[in-house]
Structure 1
Amino acid sequence: MDQPDLARAITLRARETSVHERTRPRIKDAMRLSHWSTSDGVSPELSAALARTQTVAEHTTDPDLKADYEEAHSYLQALIDNERQANDEEDDNDW
């Protein structure tokens, strides 16, 4: 996610060497965050990653990478929504 030029280069090389189907899942995995912090249901890391995936998806010309970045964007938005909902539920329950 942080290195779209590298993802593009790996994708192009993988296609050239007929290993794209094996490398694509690894590239997609790299687009997912493994840890983040939250405060009051807000995560600066998730928000920054969401903005990055949107920008890269808008500017990439590779159709597979575009689809993968759009999928990562949806995944991150769902995480953000879940964090906010969990925080709201904690507030409602006076945690």
Structure 2
Amino acid sequence: MLPILDWGCAMYAAVDCLSETATVLLFDPNAMTDDGAAAWFVDAGSLAEWLETWLAGTGWYREDADEYEDVAEPTPWETAASRIAE
């Protein structure tokens, strides 16, 4: 994981450099469990997608995001536990 953005409050956006599409992940320590896997979320399927959302200002982090139905929330990173174990 390559951190690319510090959201504050110990939350980070990071690029999965082993992913062919450079998946962007969100690390949120508030969701931490014993193994740490629950603290990782998929923010975007690719770095290009994440950058487009960031530049357009249409991501989950936007102040009025709760007013829009089409704003995608980060989803749990299903392979976090196995990747952390590596």
Range class of TM-score, shorter chain: under 0.3
Output the TM-score relative to the length of structure 2: 0.27
Output the TM-score relative to the length of structure 1: 0.25
Q: Which has the higher helix share?
A: 1
Name the structure, 1 or 2, with higher relative contact order (CA <8 Å, separation 6+): 1
Bigger-Rg structure (1/2): 1
Q: Which has the higher strand share?
A: 2
